[in-house]
Structure 1
């Protein structure tokens, strides 16, 4: 009986030790290297303000200003060597094209349980961290991340943090411009509210000759964070060759966010216009040349001979003189007789 109790106690101590060691090991997030395995990090199951089963894609934490929120990061090292991981919190932001990125500086709200952690080979670990929401924090979304670095690689596990309070979903569409040469529509979407938005875009065109058309309708592959803007581009597959047309953009998102923008452009096939102008010039030049030639009387039979009048007068005079001379000849002969 005593032996059984001792054995039970030893097994219990071993389980507690194994579970305690991973809890002290911070996690890092990285993707596997090409052709091999690598350490990974992800939200641990059953934690956070919205606990769920395995497979949480990111952390979701929500609390009022002045509260402290907690969650746990799961770290896995399937490799054959131990991995030393460095952890920090970071603020998320949108790049100019709408992609997601993380600040290089630390986030003062997010504090990992340890800044540097060594994860043994073929071991998983659970690393707690806390998020202290300042008492002056504005309501709405404050996207952030737990950033992990090891072995020359760095990656982040997203932390979707929402501060309790009134929320506003609003956006605007600005700087709409048509690039006629490349058939592109440039525009900027600005998040004017305090919640993250996934916009849906509709583009319509209206031309004097081509009429109205629905160009495209799709959900944009960006998540626009509060107060951020993204410069985006949409293709115009078949712009008109000769027309005066306008494009109308409508962007909507969850929570009633709605924005519109428009731009116009005149499409003229300048190479065809230039070719027609050359033909007109050539034709006009030929017409003037023909008229000039006719006026100058160039070529045989094209006009009267300038010497025809003098020659006719001379022939006429000569003929008259000969006739008079012949008529007087008998009279002269009779007189002589």
Structure 2
């Protein structure tokens, strides 16, 4: 309880002061109540929309499936069950349908937008004869959604990819948001199966470093699923030199599942590559299938390579500089030696000339008395 105490000291403007005090008291009371109202608002949780869905387990003792995988002949049909759960905190109406799948630019497993008509395996699914079904679920409630799948008589051999989709539309302010979850669905039609991953358009570049043995080789290429079976792959990128000698540790990466007809640009960078002038980047792709996928038979690896030149310009520059210094030293020594020899020859010649000059007066002096006696 908020208590306001007023001073008993006489004041000529008592009524005005009382009014001000009352206004201040009301303001303080509202301020004291405001945090409680805010706390009450924050304590009330907001409703959330949550969706989860999965294939029905084959039996009580089997582990749950994470995808629908079927092998069906043209004209064949089967029935299965999709389990949808409202994992949110509010009642929600869900729409369940099937649509076609594709690989995204990043290599993910994408599904067509809601409202886009499927043309492949997504069009083979029916819910009681309809292309979709709705289910109103309370929070925490699950429901089994039965569906049938009919393979057309003219279906081509190979893998046909689709997805089961659960969609919930909800208002988010002034925007209607479509929240979706999906489960992969694969139908393999038997016949001439052609599991075939290829590597094309290979190019390479080299990035040097100050350390001539610590450069990077970047290899770019295109992986194409040219067959009719969905495949993943393990990639090994190696940098070899003359005679197939490895010049750096091999780099191993993975290629996510690629649907038939899809392509993907892959770039790998191998570190610790020396500037050995001749480099031979080699890429080996080992196809594989998902653990839950049907076995398509033997898979063949594919290898591609290219040639790359990495000239050690820094090292060559140091060598040229060293040779220049060595040449200058040799030249200077030879020049100095020539000058020294020339100086020695000059001094010896001067010494001989001086000695001869000093001997000539003595000879003349010795010859003069003889001439006098003769006269």
How many angstroms apart in 2 are the aligned matches of 1:58 and 1:294? 89
* Residue matched to 1:280: 323
From the superposition, tell whether residues 270 and 118 of structure 1 become closer, same or farther in structure 2 (CA, over 3 Å): farther
From the superposition, tell whether residues 215 and 278 of structure 1 become closer, same or farther in structure 2 (CA, over 3 Å): closer
Q: Secondary structure at the match of 1:40?
A: strand
Ranked by relative contact order (alpha carbons within 8 Å, sequence separation 6 or more), the top structure is 1
Q: Does 1:107 align with 2:142?
A: no
Deviations 1:25-70 (A, max 9, x none): xxxxxxxxxxx993211123459xxx99561111234444455555
* Residue matched to 1:154: 180
From the superposition, tell whether residues 199 and 66 of structure 1 become closer, same or farther in structure 2 (CA, over 3 Å): same
* Residue matched to 1:229: 263
Q: Does 1:190 align with 2:216?
A: no
The correspondence for 1:220, drawn from 254, 259, 262, is 254
Deviations 1:258-290 (A, max 9, x none): 142232445554432321221012211332344
Residue 165 of structure 1 and its aligned partner are, at CA, apart by 3.6
- Checking the alignment, whether the CA contact within 8 Å between 1:66 and 1:135 is kept in structure 2 is yes
Task: Give the TM-score taking structure 2 as reference length.
Answer: 0.60
Q: Does 1:58 align with 2:101?
A: no
Task: Give the TM-score taking structure 1 as reference length.
Answer: 0.65
The correspondence for 2:100, drawn from 91, 97, 100, is 91
The correspondence for 1:42, drawn from 45, 50, 54, is 54
From the superposition, tell whether residues 274 and 86 of structure 1 become closer, same or farther in structure 2 (CA, over 3 Å): farther
* Residue matched to 1:319: 361
Unmatched runs of 5 consecutive residues or more in structure 1: 1-35
From the superposition, tell whether residues 64 and 158 of structure 1 become closer, same or farther in structure 2 (CA, over 3 Å): same
* Residue matched to 1:258: 300
* Residue matched to 1:31: none
Q: What are the residue-to-residue correspondences of 1:4-83 with 2, within 5 Å?
A: 38-45=50-57, 53=62, 55-66=64-75, 70-83=79-92
Unmatched runs of 5 consecutive residues or more in structure 2: 1-47, 171-176, 208-215, 289-295
- Checking the alignment, whether the CA contact within 8 Å between 1:88 and 1:107 is kept in structure 2 is no
Q: Does 1:145 align with 2:163?
A: yes
Q: Secondary structure at the match of 1:142?
A: strand
- Checking the alignment, whether the CA contact within 8 Å between 1:98 and 1:232 is kept in structure 2 is no
RMSD in angstroms over aligned alpha carbons? 4.5
**Count of aligned pairs between the two proteins:** 294
How many angstroms apart in 1 are the aligned matches of 2:271 and 2:349? 73
